């Protein structure tokens, strides 16, 4: 039943996506001589294709080609200053058998900072229990490692720190990555992904039970609803509409995910303002309400609009009525006895 329901939801997503994203076209196919007709190529909205191409150029920029707003060198101190207050404690409480995943890690400076003596001097509580510290994995679309990363890795046990690149988060499986007690994303995949519902599905699958995911978004309609879009005449950078077209806050959508507890806090002193999120996983039966992308404009981060996919109608199974039992054929009675003549 779960598989049927999931398939139905995915079908609805596809139908809505075709309605909202794709310009109606009628594909014309000309059969090749003496060959069967070829299947038409799927139509891709030219505007979306153009914006994704611009975004890819931002990802791959290096040196003078690096976009000014695309930050790749955030330190661990900036993570502590930016993310929810619980993050610093969560990280310092990790032991040598625990794991930390950093999505959109850039040069991986936050992870490198974690292994310095300076970190230990600033977190004396639990130092003995931490020992050699947790294992860490950095994920980036492009390889931003420097000599400092390689030097640090060489001084640690094998695979104490790992750096994975060239793939999106959606392309990794649970077998590839395993699970983590702490996951961070500071203006990484959650701010840049075209499909944030798929992004949350994947991220929560990599999160251990009772683990925490710390992230944020710039310029969104806050939980309190007191802020306006930062850029005049433009929508929020990440905007969600409910299935009926009404506005839905990102925090509300996150809280609608099953098996998680979510806290949301707005920081208005940032320019643009940011809303920070702590997502605590409390059970394993995670279900993320699906969204369809209806707007995407390249940027650092991109401007994105989504609509909630309405739930699939219940599947009605019609069971044919059982046929009536056949009427038994009449059994002829034996002839009545007659008096014998003597």
Name all domains of the chain by residue range, CATH numbers in brackets. 44-308 (3.40.50.150)
User: What average pLDDT does this structure show over 201-230?
Assistant: 97
Query: Which run of H or E residues covers position 294?
Result: strand 291-297
The Cα–Cα gap between 264 and 247 comes to: 17
Tokens of 144: 């931003």
Is the sign of the CA dihedral 147, 121, 101, 275 positive or negative? negative
- Tell me the whole-structure pTM to 2 decimals: 0.79
Residue 1 to residue 119: CA distance in whole angstroms: 50
- Identify the band that residue 67 occupies on the pLDDT scale cut at 50, 70 and 90: confident
Task: Walk across the sheet containing 161-165 and list its strands.
Answer: 161-165, 135-140, 99-103, 180-185, 207-218, 274-281, 260-267
Structure token pair of residue 70: 């695309």
- Angle (nearest 5°) at CA 279 between 174 and 96: 60
pLDDT (tens digit per residue) in 133-155: 999 999 999 999 999 999 999 99
Distance from the first to the final alpha carbon of the chain: 81
The pLDDT > 70 percentage for the chain reads 80
Peptide bond into 301 cis (omega under 30): yes
**Residue 103 pLDDT exceeds 80:** yes
> Is residue 44 exposed (0-12), middle (13-18) or buried (19+ Cβ within 10 Å)?
exposed
Calculate mean pLDDT across residues 109-116: 97
What is the structure's pLDDT at 31?
37
Looking at residue 328, what is its pLDDT? 58
| Tally of CB atoms within 10 A around 27 | 9
Q: Rounded to whole angstroms, what are the CA distances from 106 to 96, 167, 203?
A: 24, 13, 18
Alpha helices in the chain (DSSP H): 2-21, 46-60, 76-82, 86-92, 109-114, 117-122, 127-130, 147-154, 174-177, 189-192, 196-205, 250-255
Half-sphere exposure of 243 (CA within 13 A, CB side): 9
The tens digit of pLDDT for each residue in 2-60 reads 443 444 444 444 333 333 333 333 233 333 334 444 444 545 578 888 999 999 999 98
Beta bridge partners of 266: 275
Partners of 162 in beta bridges? 137
**Structure confidence at residue 4 (pLDDT):** 39
């Amino acid at each position: 039943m779960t598989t049927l329901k999931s398939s139905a939801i995915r079908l609805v997503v596809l139908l809505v996506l075709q309605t909202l994203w794709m310009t109606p076209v009628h594909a014309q196919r000309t059969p090749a001589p003496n060959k069967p007709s070829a299947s038409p190529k799927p139509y891709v909205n030219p505007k979306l294709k153009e914006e994704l191409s611009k975004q890819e150029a931002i990802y791959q920029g290096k040196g003078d080609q690096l976009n000014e707003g695309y930050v790749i060198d955030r330190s661990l101190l900036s993570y502590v200053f930016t993310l929810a207050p619980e993050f610093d404690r969560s990280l310092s409480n990790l032991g040598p058998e625990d794991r930390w995943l950093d999505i959109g890690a850039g040069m991986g400076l936050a992870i490198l900072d974690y292994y310095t003596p300076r970190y230990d001097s600033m977190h004396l509580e639990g130092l003995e229990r931490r020992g050699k510290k947790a294992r860490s994995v950095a994920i980036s679309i492009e390889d931003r490692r420097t000599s400092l990363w390689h030097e640090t890795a060489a001084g640690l046990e094998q695979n104490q720190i790992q750096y994975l690149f060239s793939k999106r988060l959606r392309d990794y499986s649970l077998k590839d990555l395993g699970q983590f007690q702490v996951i961070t994303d500071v203006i990484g995949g959650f701010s840049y992904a075209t499909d944030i519902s798929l992004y949350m599905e994947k991220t929560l699958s990599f999160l251990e039970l009772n683990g925490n995911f710390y992230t944020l978004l710039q310029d969104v309609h806050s939980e309190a609803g007191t802020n306006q879009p930062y850029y005049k005449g433009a929508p929020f950078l990440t905007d969600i509409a409910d299935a009926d077209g009404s506005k839905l806050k990102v925090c509300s959508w996150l809280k609608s995910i099953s098996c998680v507890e979510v806290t949301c806090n707005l920081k208005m002193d940032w320019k643009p303002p940011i809303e920070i999120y702590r997502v605590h996983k409390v059970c394993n039966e995670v279900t993320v309400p699906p969204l369809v992308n209806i707007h995407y404009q390249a940027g650092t981060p991109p401007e994105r609009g989504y609509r909630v996919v309405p739930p699939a109608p219940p599947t009605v199974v019609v069971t044919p009525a059982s046929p009536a039992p056949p009427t038994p054929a009449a059994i002829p009675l034996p002839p009545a006895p007659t008096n014998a003549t003597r």
